Amino acid sequence: MSGLDDVIDVNKNGERFVKEDARRDEFVAAIKKQPGAVCYDINDASIVKEFNSFNENVETLVKLGRIYKSDTLAGLAKQLGMPAENLEKTVAEYNKMVEAKSDTKFGRKLFDQKIEKAPFYATPRAPSIHHTMGGLEINTKAQVVDVLGNPIPGLYAAGEVTGGIHGSNRLGGNATADVLTFGRIAAKSALGIK
In 3D space, the residue among 115, 99, 97 whose CA is nearest the CA of residue 107 turns out to be 97
On whether the CB atoms of residues 117 and 45 are closer than 8 A, the answer is yes
Pairing of strands 151-156, 120-125: unpaired
The gap from C-alpha 31 to its chain's centroid, in whole angstroms, comes to 11
What's the rounded Cα separation, in Å, for the pair 107 and 162? 35
DSSP 126-145: ----SS----B-B-TT-EEE
Catalytic (active-site) positions: 24
Task: State the burial class of residue 139 (Cβ atoms within 10 Å of its Cβ: 0-12, 13-18, 19+).
Answer: middle
Alpha-helix residue ranges (DSSP H) falling in 125-168: none
On whether the CB atoms of residues 82 and 9 are closer than 8 A, the answer is no
Pairing of strands 143-145, 120-125: unpaired
